[in-house]
Structure 1
Amino acid sequence: MSDADQQPIVIVGASLAGATAAGELRNDGWTGGIVLIGSETRLPYERPPLSKGVLLGKDETDVAQLHDQQWYDDNKIDLLLGKTVTSIDAAGHTVTLDDGSQVSYGKLLIATGSRVRRLDVPGSDLAGIHYLRTAEESQALDDAYVAKPRVVVVGAGWIGLESASAARERGSEVTVVEPQSTALASVLGEEVGGLFAEFHRQHGVQFRFDTGVEGFEGTDKVTGVRLSGGEVIPADLVVVGVGVQPNTELAAEAGIEVATRENGSGIVTGSDLKTSVADVYAAGDVVRWDHPLFGRSVRVEHWQNAKDSGAAAAKAMLGQEVAHDAIPYFFTDQFDLGMEYAGEIPRGTLYQVVLRGDPKSGAYFAFWLDDDRHVLAGMHVNNWDTIDAIQDLIRSGKQVDPARLADPSVELSDV
């Protein structure tokens, strides 16, 4: 692609995906303009440290920053921070900002990410109720943890469990409320999710499963969480972690195809991350793309996908052949547990769980197999330098013998 007569490449979303794409454009030789637009006033940052080191009081939020201002200056990336894109004119190849100004583009990348789902129950606007998505929210929660408050966490997903472990490590009483039957049930299933719940119990976390939240008690500040059935749990601080939803509205209003929530949500693209509209691409939490390895569309809300899809979208915008086939990956740190997970289990899939090693030892594996004994996903707990072997099993598509997979004496490469 010749740069001389090209309009700038505009990236909507100064996120990890957006900033990664900008860097990849320069690495791959694009010398034209790059405009990176973000609603937050902070330089682009990544989110994992916000629910890990920052909540533990070990790190400042600045540790999450991707690059300093000099990097953007050196790479001639025009940062428009504190600006929100309000509309996309796909035919005119322009975006309009909240101050009324317009920016023209030759190619456009939508990397608008996700936002937290909020509870709409009585008392939800009380002080002391926290969500965790942005650097500011992480800092506010870190500050609040210093007082060792009584903490109630709503939601036993990844954010909920990481928030709970950080609060417990810092000396708080912690209760987690979850409407499903165990922790991480929708992600890992009841068997493996139950292992995480038991691990947290061993560290003093209490759980209320099969329980919803009817409202929050308090006058100016939260003092309790009212559960379904009427019981009130005293709380000085509440963390709500009930999932996120992709920011697809901008794309939908521009006539770009967006999946419905029933179909998994997200901006629909091919494996090349091109949307249904010419010269418009998507990356990060917001994209639902055709995965060439899995043979189905997927949307992934994790850090690694933001990096991988941002880089892939940059290459696609430069005219390179792209088939984004990265295997979804994420990690978590809770108390003395470190876990890495790879793979993707389609919703509604029947699977067999194979455990390798004894969970009571604190180091084990779990694998999810479909009816044909293909590995859909796998994870390790405190078994480092094994995630590549797990991904190799998934990518190979071969049938495995569950007994050999469960046997620690058999190398994963020989299963």
Structure 2
Amino acid sequence: MTLNFKASDVTDGGMHTFEVGDQKVLVTRDGDDLHAFDALCPHAGADLGEGVRCGSRIVCPWHHATFHAGDGSLIEPPALEGLKEYRVKSDGESLSVDLEDEIKPPTPKPSHEDHHTVIIGGGASGFMVAQTLRHGGYAGKITMLTAENRAPYDRTALSKAYLSGKKPADKLALGGADWAKENKIDLREGVKVTKLDREAHEVHLDGDSLGFDAVIVATGATPNTLKVPGAELDGQYQLRSFQDAQALKDAAQGKNIVIIGSSFIGLEAASSLIEGAASITVIGQEAEIMSRALTPKVGRAIRKLHEDRGVKFHLNAEVEAIEGSGKAEAVRLKSGERIKADLVLLGIGVKPNSDLLSDLANKKGAVPVDAHLLAAPNVYAVGDIALAPTLLGEMRVEHWRVALQEGMTAAQSILESFDLEPMDRRVPFFWTQQYGKSLRYVGHAESLDDTHIWGNPDELKFIEFAFKDGQAVAASGMGMDNDLAAFEELLLLGRVLRAEEIRKGEFSLVERLK
């Protein structure tokens, strides 16, 4: 199939999606320089032409994966790879793109042939370290040690598409079913690391040890447990691993489910399980759901999404005990109320698994790292355990995209190739999806004492800004995707929006980029 078009069909400095049969082609233009790519984001299939272009950056409107407008290379996850590029041919005023004429990306020069990188952990960060190393020409040995009996997989899908039955288990693997083999990764599943000897450059396993030149500690986090009478009863579940999700999915059908915790994981699970459950009740300690990220007005609007589908809420509530004979049968609140529970799901936060670096960790278990994720010479800490610098300050972030960013950054450090920005030039971003509606959050706000809303949360079309010292440091929203993507780009450019300007009334953040 061939796309025929004129340069004037694409705005100079912009981009445009063309349809060619059942395919979509994205064309970028900078003067007489035109490039053509697959238009659909490789992460979740969004049309990139409906996203934001900022200089050389193409930003996906859904999850802010970012690609280079000149060659389609990956700049920011959650996409795991760049865009397929096609050759643009010129014949006078007419231009054409033959979809059979693909431009293969240049093969990087092999490096680090005698180098060994050991990755402890098979989650998002660890996966992205290995992926970025191989894509960057790393020719040394990569060993990945994971405690799970499973290759790296998309953990974000567990509480969403997997629990709801929309995504089967065999579609969860990151990079595909044969990723480790294709990338020459020595993947060892079901392995427990007992010690990390930094001085000797050795990782100790049960009865074995591995030497390393660089080690990545990507050990993730462990869900918190209840400390109340009855916490030992059967019928209580967590949602962190595939095994957790599989057990929960198998047990939940037709049950009266009580979810303890009113943040993202618990609410995503409620959204995914409600169709097959007899009932779902969510218990939260705060006055409103997701109160650390959203003001009560926005929280109420999202809570209504759940209530309209039959989910019940007990907020400002505290669990006093789990009751039952052998297994959970009810949750008793401190108010004295007793809620029937055939199944209890705990969504009360996590603690970082930083035991291997305990001497470096702070009191909360977070491991301080520099902008390239180094915790100590040749030792990198990434993902849920890392206390890392960002554009908005030092923080430990438990979100998927940040974990992937940290994996990319650590790999770039090993490669000694700093084409990508270090972590202190990056902005945190996360999303949640409930009942097919996506809430996206850019930046970071320590408090929600000073905020302003554009749009109407009750109509699920809004942006809520949070301010610090009169400047917008975070924005969450629904139904205004491009403005949220533009907000992130403005933060990256250092063009911070001031509170008084935002309070004057709505304007296009996309236009502000130009």
TM-score, length of structure 2 as denominator length: 0.74
- Give 1:413 shift: 3.6
Distance in structure 2 (CA, Å) of the matches to 1:158 and 1:307 = 19
| Aligned: 1:260 with 2:363 | yes
Distance in structure 2 (CA, Å) of the matches to 1:232 and 1:379 = 35
| Aligned: 1:382 with 2:489 | no
**Structure number with higher relative contact order (C-alpha < 8 Å, ≥ 6 residues apart):** 1
Distance in structure 1 (CA, Å) of the matches to 2:464 and 2:448 = 16
Query: Which moved further from structure 2: 316-325 or 106-115?
Result: 316-325
Question: Which has the larger Rg?
Answer: 2
Q: Number of paired residues?
A: 399
Over residues 382-415 of structure 1, what are the superposed CA-to-partner deviations in whole Å (9 max), with x where a residue is unaligned? 333443212124333424355646744x212456
Aligned residue in 1 for 2:450: 352
SS of the equivalent of 1:258 reads coil
| Contact 2:328–2:341, Cα closer than 8 Å, also in 1 | yes
| Contact 1:362–1:382, Cα closer than 8 Å, also in 2 | yes
- Give 1:116 shift: 0.6
Over residues 183-232 of structure 1, what are the superposed CA-to-partner deviations in whole Å (9 max), with x where a residue is unaligned? 11122243433332333223322211111111111112211001113221
Q: Which of the two has greater strand per residue? A: 2
Among 290, 297, 318, the residue aligned to 2:389 = 290
| Contact 2:261–2:282, Cα closer than 8 Å, also in 1 | yes
| Aligned: 1:331 with 2:431 | yes
SS of the equivalent of 1:389 reads helix
Distance in structure 2 (CA, Å) of the matches to 1:403 and 1:269 = 36
Aligned residue in 2 for 1:41: 149
| Contact 2:297–2:457, Cα closer than 8 Å, also in 1 | no
- Give 1:151 shift: 1.3
Aligned residue in 2 for 1:132: 239
TM-score, length of structure 1 as denominator length: 0.91
Aligned residue in 2 for 1:364: 462
Aligned residue in 2 for 1:152: 258
Structure 1 unaligned spans of 5+: none
Aligned residue in 2 for 1:50: 158
| Aligned: 1:341 with 2:459 | no
Over residues 217-252 of structure 1, what are the superposed CA-to-partner deviations in whole Å (9 max), with x where a residue is unaligned? 111221100111322111111111000111111111
Among 176, 180, 194, the residue aligned to 2:300 = 194
Q: Which amino acid aligns with 1:47?
A: R
Q: Which amino acid aligns with 1:14?
A: G
| Contact 2:361–2:368, Cα closer than 8 Å, also in 1 | yes
Among 59, 63, 77, the residue aligned to 2:185 = 77
For 1:171-190, list aligned pairs within 5 A: 171-190=277-296
| Contact 1:116–1:133, Cα closer than 8 Å, also in 2 | yes
| Aligned: 1:3 with 2:112 | yes
Aligned residue in 1 for 2:224: 117
| Contact 1:350–1:370, Cα closer than 8 Å, also in 2 | no
| Aligned: 1:411 with 2:508 | yes
Identity value in percent: 32
Distance in structure 1 (CA, Å) of the matches to 2:409 and 2:285 = 37
SS of the equivalent of 1:115 reads strand
- Give 1:82 shift: 0.6
RMSD across aligned positions (CA): 2.0
- Give 1:127 shift: 2.2
Among 71, 75, 87, the residue aligned to 2:195 = 87
Judged with a 3 Å threshold, the aligned counterparts in structure 2 of structure 1 residues 403 and 297 are, in CA distance, closer, same or farther, namely: closer
Distance in structure 1 (CA, Å) of the matches to 2:135 and 2:383 = 19
- Give 1:163 shift: 1.3
